[in-house]
């Protein structure tokens, strides 16, 4: 209950039909309308995704090591970067 006390209040507009359905569910489950709305939002939104690095995303996509025949230290050895980005 302490989470609710320190939470913020928001106002939304919903149709009369949705209000009736919400009230009916609240009565049937013997829960408050607010509790049902919070549960629905938690279910819909789920956990906040943990941000991933570009490396992790590339690895998950199978892009790391997908090109054959190139030096294994291509992304780490500075000698491979000489002239990179310069017009020829």
Instruction: Report if pTM > 0.85.
Output: no
Tens of pLDDT, residue by residue over 14-24, are 999 999 999 99
Distances (CA, A) of 78 to 49, 52, 75, 81: 34, 25, 8, 5
Residue 40 pLDDT grade (very low, low, confident, very high; cuts 50, 70, 90): very high
Name the residue ranges covered by the structural domains of the chain.
10-81
pLDDT higher for 83 or 12?
Answer: 12
Q: How far is 56 from 66, CA to CA, in rounded Å?
A: 14
Dig out the tokens for 70 from the structure: 């190139």
């Amino acid at each position: 209950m302490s989470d609710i006390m320190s939470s913020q209040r928001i106002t939304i507009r919903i149709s009369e039909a949705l209000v009736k359905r919400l009230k009916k569910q609240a009565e049937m489950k013997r829960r408050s309308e607010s509790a049902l709305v919070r549960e629905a939002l938690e279910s819909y939104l789920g956990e906040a995704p943990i941000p991933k690095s570009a490396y992790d995303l590339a690895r998950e996509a199978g892009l790391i090591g997908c090109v054959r025949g190139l030096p294994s230290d291509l992304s780490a050895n500075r000698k491979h970067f000489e002239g990179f980005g310069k017009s020829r």
